[in-house]
Structure 1
């Protein structure tokens, strides 16, 4: 990500992808795009069936892969135990709170420079740009934070999520949305990066005419007048410019420099409605993991699917057994004997006793072991919870832990989340923030960069709770090293000369996630110490005084350093 001083909106702002030029071989291009989307859809047919099965048991509100459900239709008929759905929602909410929490700073911008090389102007510019970008994410009624929760739910359930960031020139706002995975079909480039996406969706006739106007087919315009709520299928295709079918089409020199091309197609009439360009790929497509080496990701729900299916089957059986135990069937001589039998509460069963006072009807006691069923169910529930990292998200609920124990637990638990956090950062957060930065820069919403950054790049540093926890291992190592040195330091205090206290203090402070402005620069520390130093005297006297008090000072300094860094844990 590279800042620039050229912020001419007429040149930096790409045309709205819905209103770009449409001259050229539109019919052939439209049919080619429709055929490619159908080919991508056919290739993932087996995945759609798997996602439908997972959605039916874990996320029924998104169960629209193999067939389109009507609004208000019942969706939870196959669920007899809600453990999987609750665990998935808990993990999604945990990712929201640990990665992109609206109440915390979760990213900051840094220069591609050493800390001591940064000028005050550069630091102020980075802080101001970071502040404005955070405010933009929080703007428009916290829309980003509301939509990103849907992305995390798709990510942990299906293994792949689709997020869309669109600039709206009319309002100056940025529109965020989580696209349904059933609508989207992706392709990768030679570097295994998703750079092509086809989204097949539905608009009403009224929505289509409102968006594309006279570019719509005459039949669609007539439908907008007579049947405005009738739905039609449309296609949005975004791909690299060299593969976008724009050869021979009119475009400005500025448009020719944009790396991605966009097409909207009326599928029913095979009509190209609009074409345009994007400066950045507008879709972010994070994947939980790609262990199966497929195009789409794998998810915790896929790993836990056998346990989820078994748990639902066992719960159904236990429910039936419990119902039989509480309201057992009756034993009778024949069918005629039970006609008119009143089994409701307070009912009188006439003829229920014979002339000798013995019961004519007896309940059937099958003797099933409901307790065993409940015990087996709990084992499957625990397996499902662990697949969704349930224990990891409950670490904060373990009281009475020292700082050392907290660091050790975080290092152990979060080692499992490391690969997934790295993939989320690389495939979602990095392109998201770069897209946000580009949109705001083209809209003149960012201050001009300082001279020092005009030839250098800007990198993204994540400071969310989960990112800080991933770096906590370094702090834990420092604490453990100091604890191990304490017994030796009590006997031989000069060993503390091997430790750079300033470097240890900086590393430990950063590993705990303290704000960056809390640390003084190295130059400021040197100036502060120079001002506090005593005036120079007789060097010989200073050497004698230092020799006389070395052991005491070293012991006190080592103990103080250890206590400060471990919080008194030693």
Structure 2
């Protein structure tokens, strides 16, 4: 598995050198103090990657960015209270300073932006009293998919010190590690962490879990730990995959890589042209000077002059040019392409103030089309996997109390996560725009029914077609049978109200007649 990804390391190295220089150690070994970006002429590609990587955390993990639900089922009040309480428990557990969640996701976001994937482990610490998140270098991992296309086997190279191995595994380390503790406790030892489905790990032992976690001392050919695992430990979100490969790619850097090389070359040419413009090289007569001229900015070729001639007649400057508009225009165009390649033009919601409902709907739909390729893969495979793995570990560790304290309506339900993101906000705005459009359709139909020629139009059919054509959800429309039944009920109620009004009017008439007769009798008696 590691051998097959050797050529992929070369691609990642090239990508890192242009967009993520501090991570460019896939095929080379860097020493401490080495400069990361001394080979770059401009930092714009690196800044574009940095802005996209920083945007992931600020837009997808801001505040309490996830909520718990149970799918399509609507939980009752006690279930809602428990889900909100569990969300708060998980949020505090994830953002405890010992978990290193922010550090791991920060590194993972930039790996995801540059290489289209990252590797974050979700574990309990060795004391089992808290979570632990760590982001690992993609160079050190290799994985494969099963027949259904899901990652189920993961290998990670690891070089801890002898002291760390002893601290983590105690007496289960090899004997040579104990000897190294006395001579060189900081000696690095090659190890391997493997996560494999338990059905494939046939050693005669039984593991009552879907996976097995194995730590191996490769240098000493010694198995230090074999433990069952209910998940694959590593969260491996993948941005864009192609058939036939278990590794993903970043559509941002793959598209922008030619532009990144081009803008480096353009910047070098512009810098050199600018230097030559203010400090041009010199050209000399071949009869006096050598012909191997130094044509760099400020360059000059020296030679002995034996002829009796004036130096001004044999040496001169190359022509100067103080205007470089063409190169600058090309550079600006390349910057614009890199800006679009990193989706930086799709990170902000459109301003919809002062627009009609239709204009708001169209602008929001346009934003959703642009933002979906960016946010859609991250929510289920990145944030979703992190939250699912964390919730399951906390549940098994007893962080949510006894399972008997869970409301009965939630027993056996599959807890799902929903996330706060600009995409979800845009979807909410789209629903608002659709609701406003439906309200306008109904108001227009109410005015149409009172028009003189309204009898020539099937108003109900027109309303249904107009609402369906506005993009409103189908569940907003009642079925035709329900509408007919409601209309019949309304007609019956109206008829009943008319009869009651008629009876009241008749009773009032009888009362008026009786009062008039009484008045006549009173007048007659008085007379």
| TM-score, structure 2 as length reference | 0.76
* Partner residue, 1:290: 241
Specify whether residues 113 and 373 from structure 1 end up closer, same or farther in structure 2 by C-alpha distance, changes over 3 A only: closer
The separation in 2 between residues aligned to 1:240 and 1:320, in whole angstroms, is 58
Q: Which residue of 1 aligns with 2:263?
A: 311
1:203 partner SS: coil
CA distance in 2, matches of 1:197, 1:407: 45
- Per the alignment, residue 8 of structure 2 pairs with 47
Higher relative contact order (CA 8 A, sep 6+): 1
Which of 150, 154, 162 pairs up with 2:119? 162
For the aligned residue pairs, the C-alpha RMSD in angstroms reads 3.3
| Cα separation, 2, equivalents of 1:370 and 1:469 | 43
Between 216-225 and 362-371, report the one with greater CA deviation. Answer: 362-371
Pick aligned residue for 2:100 from 143, 156, 161: 143
Q: What is the aligned counterpart of 1:248 among 201, 204, 226?
A: 204
Q: Tell which deviates more after alignment, 154-163 or 485-494.
A: 485-494
1:330-381 per-residue CA deviation (whole Å, 9 max, x = no partner) reads: 3456569xxxxxx99xxxxxxxxx9999798644235485221111011111
Secondary structure, counterpart of 1:91 in structure 2: helix
Tell me the equivalent position of 1:374. 328
Q: Offset of 1:129 from its aligned partner?
A: 0.9
Counterpart check, 1:433 vs 2:387 = yes
Q: Which residue is 1:179 aligned to?
A: 136
Hey, what's the Cα distance between the residues in 2 that align with 1:293 and 1:479?
46
Q: Distance in 1 between matches of 2:499 and 2:3?
A: 87
Shift of 1:419: 4.4
Distance 2:27 2:369 in 1: 36
Pick aligned residue for 2:73 from 72, 96, 114: 114
**Alpha carbons 2:115, 2:248 under 8 Å: kept:** yes
The answer to whether residue 380 in structure 2 is matched with residue 415 in structure 1 is: no
3-state SS of paired residue (1:64): coil
- Contact 1:418-1:470 within 8 A present in 2 as well: no
Distance in 2 (alpha carbons) for counterparts of 1:276 and 1:357: 85
CA-CA distance at 1:134 after TM superposition: 1.8
Q: What SS is found at the alignment partner of 1:164? A: strand
Look up the SS of the partner of 2:384 in the other structure: helix
Structure 2 distance, partners of 1:327, 1:493, is 84
Offset at 1:168?
1.8
Structure 2 unaligned blocks of 5 or more: 291-296, 299-307, 452-458, 465-471, 474-495, 503-527
Deviations 1:248-296 (A, max 9, x none): 23x5xxxx32111011112222221211121222111111111454211
CA distance in 2, matches of 1:68, 1:306: 25
Q: In the aligned structure 2, how far is the partner of 1:543 from the partner of 1:67? A: 93
Among 31, 36, 41, the residue aligned to 1:80: 41
Match of 1:324 in 2: 276
What secondary structure does 2:185 align onto? coil
Distance in 2 separating the partners of 1:142 and 1:326: 56
CA distance in 2, matches of 1:486, 1:111: 37
Contact 1:107 1:461 in 2 (8 A): yes
Against the structure 1 CA distance between its residues 489 and 78, is the aligned structure 2 distance closer, same or farther, given a 3 Å change threshold? Answer: farther
Confirm whether residue 277 of structure 1 aligns to residue 228 of structure 2: yes
SS of the aligned residue for 1:231 comes to coil
What's 1:68 paired with? 29
SS at match of 1:185: strand
Label 1:93 to 1:280 Cα distance change in 2 as closer, same or farther (>3 A).
same
Residue 137 of structure 1: CA displacement?
A: 2.0
1:493–1:319: structure 2 CA closer, same or farther, 3 Å change rule? farther
Q: What displacement does 1:327 show?
A: 2.1
Other structure's SS at 1:263 match: strand
Over 3 Å counting, the alpha-carbon distance change for 1:355 and 1:67 in structure 2 is closer
Are the equivalent residues in 1 in contact too, given 2:65–2:420 (CA < 8 A)?
Answer: yes
**1:217 and 2:169 matched:** no
Measure, in 1, the Cα distance between the counterparts of 2:423 and 2:104.
20
- Secondary structure of 2:39 counterpart: coil
What is the CA–CA distance in structure 2 between the aligned matches of 1:241 and 1:281, rounded to whole Å? 11
Q: Does 1:383 align with 2:344?
A: no
* Kept after mapping to 1: 8 A contact 2:216/2:225: yes
Other-structure match for 2:162: 205
Distance in structure 2 (CA, Å) of the matches to 1:417 and 1:367: 44
Instruction: Look up the SS of the partner of 1:416 in the other structure.
Output: helix
For residues 399 and 130 of structure 2, what CA distance do their matches in structure 1 show? 11
